Amino acid sequence: MRHLMSPLDFTTKELEDLFILAGDIEHNPARYAHACDGRILATCFYEPSTRTRLSFESAMTRLGGRIIGFSDAASSSATKGESVSDTIRVISCYADICAMRHPKEGAPMVAAEKSRIPVINAGDGGHQHPTQTLTDLLTIRSLKGRLDNLTIGLCGDLKFGRTVHSLIGALVRYANIRFIFISPEELRVPDYITDMLRSRNIPYEEVIRLEKVMPQLDLLYMTRVQKERFFNEEDYVRLKDFYILDTAKMSLAREDMLVLHPLPRVNEISVEVDSDPRAAYFRQARYGVYVRMALILTLLGIQVP
């Protein structure tokens, strides 16, 4: 039995197979419409989510399966003091596969150790968000045609943004990747990431001004300042509008640059950018469903003839 805790749980060859499957699902949805008939996905969300939970639910429903779960720790037995390990043992009796989001780093891993069904980490604190990374990689691969030879700007909250941490970890496995980290001083990417990049000789730069680096980028990955992970409101208020991507800044970018964002967006991308053909964040949300469909099939070991 396999779980998904980090994008690195899959080799690049396994990821490639997953993306090929996701591409087939995108183009031949009818072939997969009953692939999970009679199967149940549990979504155990101890932290708010719209897209991740609903995209899992959409994915399982489009495969013909069913959903059970909770979307708020307050409505689960966690409020009575039940441990994640106990909850997953019980969920293992009710469902065939589980997607879990938790505010504590490592909680889905603790669950996986006790689980009798595959567990997917749907985001653990500021740590990892592997299915968002699979979504990001599929989007890049589909729209740019490659996952190597890219200069990627990551902008915003690089300290607390788990999607950023997961994505960097996954991209370093492809050839000729260069990172430009764009953040205020207080929200710089954690040292463990820059240490890892240095040890692997992967080029990166850290800058504060977005305008300056715009012309170099193949991809701009915008992120929200992670309000819920701040220790005080004052810092959040000071930093929340540090970056606002607008049409003026987009005019500095290459014709074929893509803008990605895991969503939800707050103010960091002005709505005027939405009609720019380079804005790919809503298309990205659609790829999130295909890749989760492919992931569910893969972890359940279901092959569609």
d(CA 223, CA 243): 9
Quick one: which segment of 17-25, 90-98, 198-206, 261-269 binds ligand NCD (CB under 6 A)? 261-269
Q: Which of 163, 183, 284, 298 binds ligand NCD (CB under 6 A)?
A: 163
Return the number of the residue (39 or 102) whose C-beta is nearest ligand NCD: 102
3-state helix, strand, coil in the chain (%, to 5): 45, 15, 35
Q: Is residue 263 within the footprint of ligand NCD (CB under 6 A)?
A: yes
Q: Which of 159, 162, 165, 292 binds ligand NCD (CB under 6 A)?
A: 162
Q: Which of 188, 251, 250, 190 is nearest to 220 (CA)?
A: 250
Q: Which of 127, 129, 141, 165 binds ligand NCD (CB under 6 A)?
A: 129
Q: Which of 43, 71, 132, 151 binds ligand NCD (CB under 6 A)?
A: 132
Return the number of the residue (39 or 43) whose C-beta is nearest ligand NCD: 43
In the complex, the smallest distance separating the C-beta of residue 285 from ligand NCD, rounded to whole angstroms, is: 8
The CA-CA-CA angle for residues 116, 119, 124, to 5°, reads 140
Return the number of the residue (35 or 163) whose C-beta is nearest ligand NCD: 163
d(CA 112, CA 120): 8
In the complex, the smallest distance separating the C-beta of residue 130 from ligand NCD, rounded to whole angstroms, is: 11
Q: Which residues contact 222 (CB under 8 A, 6 or more apart)?
A: 155, 156, 243, 245, 259, 260, 261, 265, 268, 269, 281
Strands 258-260 and 97-102: unpaired
Q: Which of 206, 134, 141, 192 is nearest to 163 (CA)?
A: 134
Residue corresponding to tokens 């370093």:
172
In the complex, the smallest distance separating the C-beta of residue 255 from ligand NCD, rounded to whole angstroms, is: 27
Return the number of the residue (39 or 261) whose C-beta is nearest ligand NCD: 261
Structure token pair of residue 25: 């699902």
In the complex, the smallest distance separating the C-beta of residue 221 from ligand NCD, rounded to whole angstroms, is: 11
Catalytic residue among 52, 133, 151, 163: 52
Q: Is residue 167 within the footprint of ligand NCD (CB under 6 A)?
A: no
Give catalytic status of residue 129 as yes or no: yes
Q: Which of 224, 257, 273, 297 binds ligand NCD (CB under 6 A)?
A: 224
What are the strands, taking DSSP E only, across 128-253?
Answer: 150-155, 177-182, 204-207, 219-222
Give catalytic status of residue 52 as yes or no: yes
Return the number of the residue (122 or 250) whose C-beta is nearest ligand NCD: 122
* Distance of alpha carbon 24 from the chain centroid: 21
Give catalytic status of residue 31 as yes or no: no
One-letter amino acid for residue 66 of the chain:
R
Q: How far is CA 74 from each of CA 91, 105, 119, 122, rounded to the nearest angstrom?
A: 17, 19, 21, 18
d(CA 199, CA 76): 43
The number of residues that bind ligand NCD (CB under 6 A) is 11
Catalytic residue among 101, 141, 159, 162: 101
Of residues 19-78, which lie at the interface with ligand NCD (CB under 6 A)? 51-52
Give catalytic status of residue 146 as yes or no: no
Judged by the rule CB under 6 A, the positions of this chain that interact with ligand NCD are 51-52, 123, 129, 132, 162-163, 224, 262-264
| Residues labelled catalytic | 51-52, 80, 101, 129
